[in-house]
Structure 1
Amino acid sequence: MKGQEAIALIDNLLQSLNKKQKLTDIQSRVFLETWEGDSYQEIADRHKYEHDYIKQVGSHLWRNLSQILGEKVSKQNLQAVLRHYQDCSAGIQDWGEAIDVSYFYNRLQELETLETWISSNSTRAIGIFGLGGIGKTSLSVKLAQQIQSQFEFVIWRSLQQAPTLDVIVSNILPILTNSSATNNSILALMEQLRHKRCLLIFDNLESILQGGNRSGQYQQGYEDYRQLFARIADETHQSCLILTGREQPGGFAARSGENSPVRSLKLFGLSPPVCQKILADKGLKATLLQCQALVNYFGGNPLALKLAATTIQTLFGGDIHVFLLQGNTVFSDLWDLLDRQFDRLSPLQQQIMYWIAINQEGATPAKLKSEILPQVSGRQLMEALEALAERSLIFDERSLNYTASSSLMLQPAIGEYVRERFLERNCRSSNIELLINARN
């Protein structure tokens, strides 16, 4: 157990007794630094307090913990007591096909945000959304590992193979009831979520959603997922559902907000120092300037950076400088990743992506509408642009409001992929002349 995990456990224990009670800032500092082995004097000197004050804060905290845990807690046995408590109170966990996150890069701020939402005990549903490869799955597993002590049950499931809801519920209910459930219904699952504190994680949500012009629409035969997610979001219970996906399901965005029991987190790219760490773990030495160039091109996408590292090793002898000199390129593994996302788009969305990739400067909705899509209604165009933004495939460098003057952008690697795909698959189409003319 790490210090932050221990603090989350203590906060959860305190709130279970008194919902208004929580570790103060100074208590958190004393707890965490005591956990790390620092003396009261070292803590006092570091934070400019008197030794006796820090000792008093610590003594008061150990007394409170002793009352909560029913066992004497002191500075010396703090770690042993909490680890023993965690072992004795560990709930049932079923990780399904969860990936190994031994190598987890940064995302500390995102983890802290998510833990804060969940530790409040009022958050019923959380969505983690972002482009493919951005790290949603890794974050969900790492988060679940760090907060598992707050739940009686932790169940992680992938939707990548598009299981029906009946399959999912019939798989989960026996775990929650410890029996062969015969009533595998949403009603039965909600009953369990009300009476037990459960953490459910559903990964790869996009597998049960439709591609096409509107994001968040369920595939035929999967509409009952909408009912389950709506009930979990709207009804009172003591559990939490975490969804990860490339886009939000229908109705989720309308329910989420800062003061709502439903929250959404959109993941963005990693920073150059984290890129440097990824490359180092791949056996590559990179300067921060080189990492900045890679982050700019790949949008800080951790999977793309790992794929690039492999290409640099196999084709460029590990020389990052030579890789950067040869110019931007979309190699095979990254091409396959982007292919899967591009193929989910409607013909209109694909046409928009082609146009933006070729019109790299001055690409605005108004210009798009007048020069290439005059036959498309304003509603259809805005709907398509919003869906592309929801899927993290386009962005407005200023506001993401998609007004008539908005400048529409693609990440460099995505733009390169779209241009190459256009040339490969549409070079004989009459549209190429129109698009080139639009650029000129």
Structure 2
Amino acid sequence: MNVNEVLQFVDRLVVEKMGRHLNDVEKAVVEGTWQRQSYNDIAEKCHITEGHAGDIASELWQLLSEALGEDIKKSNFRSTLERISIGESQNPNICIANNNYFFGSQIINEPLRKSKESDTNTKSQSSYHDLTLAPKIIKFYNRETELKTLSNWILNQNTPLISVLGRSGIGKSYLVRRFIDLNLEQFEVIIWRSLKYPESSDLLIDDLLNISQKNIKPNNHNKLKQLFDIFRDKQCLIILDDVDNIFINSQLAGQYKTEYQDYQNFFTKIIETENQSHVILISQEKCKEMECLDEELYPVKCLELSGLAHVEILRDMGLKDENLWLNLINLYEGNPFYIKNIANSIKNVFDGYVGEFLAENELVIPKDIQTNLQLLFNRLSPIEQKIVIKLSDSEQLVSREDLKTSLDLSSTDLINSLESLQHRYLVTKITGDKIRFKLSNVFKEYMKNCSKNSC
């Protein structure tokens, strides 16, 4: 066996046992172990700690031991696989090990296979998965509750339209990819598309129809009908990432650009048409199709992601002063994108000492975060911009009445804009003896710096 055959063999075992493929670190462990590398060598290649590489390997050896019915460990991994390799079988296409049958690149567990219905086998053989544009996951952090929620909505409640929402960098796409990795066998068709550089809904529908290998009819209405025929016949999971790019800049959140109005019809049709498929929308902004006013009439679910609050997110970033890591995470609102950027700055300037950085007593905004927040500010409507500037100038929480008076706004403009800012996850409503509004701390600091530098 060569290393590619080994990776393929182990990947199929993992799919059979876990319902997902090997991630990048697990692939590195398999490849490195086959080539007799140390865990330290593997860790350096993946930019992780040696201990983390060892933990991943230990879990993998346990899984392979259960799958093959042998005690697999680093020291005997290669010799064991060579012993059961296809080269030792009289049939060069078949290898048998403890009732696990290896047919070329496919592994089937015989007892499980016999217990499955024939339609399940047919579904597996005809499955189509296109995850080319989906992110790769090396480490998944502390989103088990959200994963369970997403699984319940799709697998138990059969919700056709789900939106995963939150600020840029919060981990929306990683969460959805993790769900897919754990549930690959549940869907005949999985397609991931990005709207970062959006195309018309007509072209998107053409793209989705290609999975059926049917002749695409020229009339758009007929094409939409063909698509929903597929959604009824097959268990499909369609993911549309970066949905906020079809919304207008300088307007309230979730307003469609003229050339992308047909997406609104497409999303509504998903809700109104009976089918066995699911569409997940990933966005920084909530539009009205993403809101659930009546769960019985409109089967829509919104999963809004907040920041992470766990030190594991900093485990492999080379920082020191672990007792202060949670302080750093809270300062940057648990946003993985922010935390990764500030961690790099701390390594470059403070040699990784978090305590020395925190002693600066300033919420530093690295350049990449500034660029991200500038793009977000540019998306705001003029009235939203006035509100965030006002909120950034105040050291206290600000009431709706204070905003209305100081900015001379009508009730309609103020209420719509505050709601829109909440739909962008920039402003939080704080309840108490009086309702007040709070601007994101990171965004607030960015706005202060902009005011000083006239940016």
Q: TM over 0.5: same fold?
A: yes
Residue 197 of structure 2 corresponds to 161
Q: CA distance change for structure 1 residues 257 and 425 in 2, over 3 Å: closer, same or farther? A: farther
Once the two structures are superposed, residues 22-46 of structure 1 have per-residue CA deviations (whole angstroms, 9 ceiling, x without a partner) of: xxxxxxxxxxxx9997xxxxxxxxx
**What is the count of residue pairs matched by the alignment?**
353
Partner residue of 1:292? 326
Residue aligned with 2:152, SS: helix
- Contact residue 313 and residue 319 of structure 1 kept, 8 A: yes
Aligned counterpart, 1:419: 448
User: Helix, strand or coil for the counterpart of 1:110?
Assistant: helix
C-alpha separation in 2, matches of 1:256 and 1:287: 46
- Which residue in 1 is equivalent to 2:410? 377
Matched, 1:265 2:328: no
* Counterpart selection for 2:335 from 301, 313, 334: 301
Secondary structure in structure 1 of the residue aligned to 2:379: coil
TM-score after normalising by structure 1: 0.73
How far is 1:329 from its partner?
Answer: 1.1
Contact 2:250 2:378 in 1 (8 A): no
Q: Which deviates further from its counterpart, 82-91 or 349-358?
A: 82-91
1:62 corresponds in structure 2 to none
Percent identical pairs in the alignment equals 29
For 1:134, the equivalent position in structure 2 comes to 170
**Letter of the aligned partner of 2:438 in structure 1?**
M
Q: How big is the shift at 1:186?
A: 2.0
Q: 1:111 aligns with which of 147, 156, 166?
A: 147
Using the TM superposition, give the Cα deviation of residue 281 of structure 1 relative to its aligned residue in structure 2, in angstroms. Answer: 1.3
Structure 1 residues 171-196: Cα deviation after superposition (integer angstroms, max 9, x where no partner): 11111x12453446322211211111
Residue 314 of structure 1 corresponds to 348
Distance 2:213 2:15 in 1: 31
1:135/1:336 CA distance change after superposition, 3 Å: same
| 1:355 matches 2:390 | yes
Q: Would you say 1:331 and 2:366 are equivalent positions?
A: yes
Superposition pairs for residues 191-202 of structure 1, below 5 Å? 191-202=229-240
Are 2:252 and 1:214 aligned?
yes
Which deviations, in whole Å up to 9, do the C-alpha atoms of 1:49-107 show, x marking residues without a partner? xxxxxxxxxxxxxxxxxxxxxxx99xxxx977558978872621011311111222121
Residues 215 and 249, structure 1, Cα contact 8 Å, conserved in 2: yes
**Contact 1:194/1:237 (<8 A) preserved:** yes
Aligned equivalent of 1:247: 285
User: Does structure 1 retain, via aligned residues, the 8 Å contact 2:194–2:242?
Assistant: yes
Letter in 1 for 2:426: L
Match of 1:394 in 2: 427
Amino acid at match of 1:99: P
**Alpha-carbon shift at residue 236 of structure 1 (Å):** 0.6
Equivalent position of 1:238 in the other structure:
276
Q: Mark the runs of 5 or more structure 1 residues left unpaired by the alignment.
A: 8-33, 38-71, 427-440
Superposed displacement of residue 382, structure 1: 0.6
Matched letter for residue 141 of structure 1: R
Q: CA deviation at 1:247?
A: 1.4
How far the C-alpha of 1:411 sits from its partner, in A, is 2.5
RMSD: 3.1
Q: Normalization by structure 2: what TM-score? A: 0.71
- Alignment-mate amino acid for residue 190 of structure 2: V
Q: CA shift at 1:213, angstroms?
A: 4.0
Structure 2 letter corresponding to 1:417: Y
For residue 422 of structure 1, what is the amino acid of its counterpart?
Answer: S
Give the Cα separation in 1 of the matches to 2:230 and 2:289.
23
SS at match of 1:126: strand
Gap regions ≥5 residues in structure 2? 1-13, 21-62, 67-98, 101-107
Q: How does 1:78-157 map to 2 (within 5 A)?
A: 81-82=111-112, 89=124, 91-120=127-156, 122-157=158-193
Q: Equivalents in 2 of 1:362, 1:146: separation in Å?
A: 42
Measure how far apart 1:398 and its partner are.
2.8
**Residue 429 of structure 2 aligns to which amino acid in structure 1?**
D
Alignment CA distance shift 1:187-1:313 (3 Å): same
Tell me the secondary structure at the aligned position of residue 315 of structure 2: helix
Listed one character per residue, the Cα deviations across residues 370-422 of structure 1 (whole Å, up to 9, x for unaligned) are 12x12x210100100000011000102337xxx9x322112321110011112
Work out the CA distance in 2 between the residues paired with 1:328 and 1:117: 38
Deviations 1:281-318 (A, max 9, x none): 12223424x22222222111111111111111112211
Residues 147-199 of structure 1 show CA distances to partners (whole Å, capped at 9, x for unaligned) of: 22111100000110011112211111111x12453446322211211111100
> Secondary structure in 1 aligned to 2:396?
coil
CA contact (8 A) 2:251 2:379 kept: no
In the alignment, the residues of structure 1 paired with residue 113 and residue 414 of structure 2 have an alpha-carbon distance, to the nearest angstrom, of 56
